[in-house]
Structure 1
Amino acid sequence: MKMRRLSDKSRTLVQLVAVVLFMGSLGFASVPLYDWFCRVTGFGGETGVAEAGSETILDQTIKVRFDASLERGMPWEFRPVQIEMDLRIGETGLAFYEAYNPTDQAVAGTASYNVAPFEAGGFFTKIDCFCFEMQVLGPGERVLMPVTFFVDPKMVEDRDAKFVKTITLSYTFHETALPDDYAALPVAAGDGYN
Structure 2
Amino acid sequence: MMDPNVRTGLFAALLAAAMLGLGYAAVPLYDMFCRVTGFGGTTQRASEADADMAARLAASAGARTISIRFDGSVARDIPWRFRPERSTETVQIGERDMAFYVAENESSIPITGTASFNVEPEYTGKYFNKIQCFCFTEQTLQPGETVRMPVLFYVDPAILEDENAKDVEQITLSYTFHRTDDASEESAGS
The TM-score, its normalising length taken from structure 1, stands at 0.77
Q: Is the 8 A contact 2:75 2:177 kept in 1?
A: yes
| Largest Rg, 1 or 2 | 1
Greater shift in the superposed pair: 25-34 or 8-17: 8-17
One-letter identity of the residue aligned with 2:44: T
Superposed, which structure 2 residues align to 1:147-162 within 5 Å?
A: 147-162=151-166
Q: Tell me which of 30, 42, 47 is aligned to 2:44.
A: 47
Q: Summarize deviations over 1:47-74 as a string: whole Å, max 9, x none.
A: 2322145233444121111111212311
Residue 29 in 1 paired to residue 25 in 2? yes
Q: Tell me which of 151, 169, 185 is aligned to 1:165.
A: 169
- Distance, in Å, in 2 between the alignment partners of 1:46 and 1:20 is 35
Q: Tell me which of 146, 149, 155 is aligned to 2:150.
A: 146
* RMSD (Å) for aligned C-alpha atoms: 2.3
SS of the equivalent of 2:24 reads helix
Partner of 1:38: 34
Partner of 2:120: 116
SS of the equivalent of 2:144 reads coil
Q: Is the 8 A contact 1:91 1:151 kept in 2?
A: yes
How many residues are aligned here?
Answer: 172
Deviation at 1:18, TM superposition (A): 4.8
Partner of 2:188: none
Percent identity over the alignment is 48
Q: Is the 8 A contact 1:47 1:114 kept in 2?
A: no
Q: Is the 8 A contact 1:48 1:123 kept in 2?
A: no
One-letter identity of the residue aligned with 2:34: C
Q: Tell me which of 98, 105, 108 is aligned to 2:109.
A: 105
Deviation at 1:145, TM superposition (A): 1.0
Which segments of 5 or more consecutive residues in structure 1 lack a partner in the other structure?
1-6, 179-194
The TM-score, its normalising length taken from structure 2, stands at 0.78
Which segments of 5 or more consecutive residues in structure 2 lack a partner in the other structure?
183-190
- Distance, in Å, in 2 between the alignment partners of 1:40 and 1:69 is 26
Deviation at 1:14, TM superposition (A): 5.9
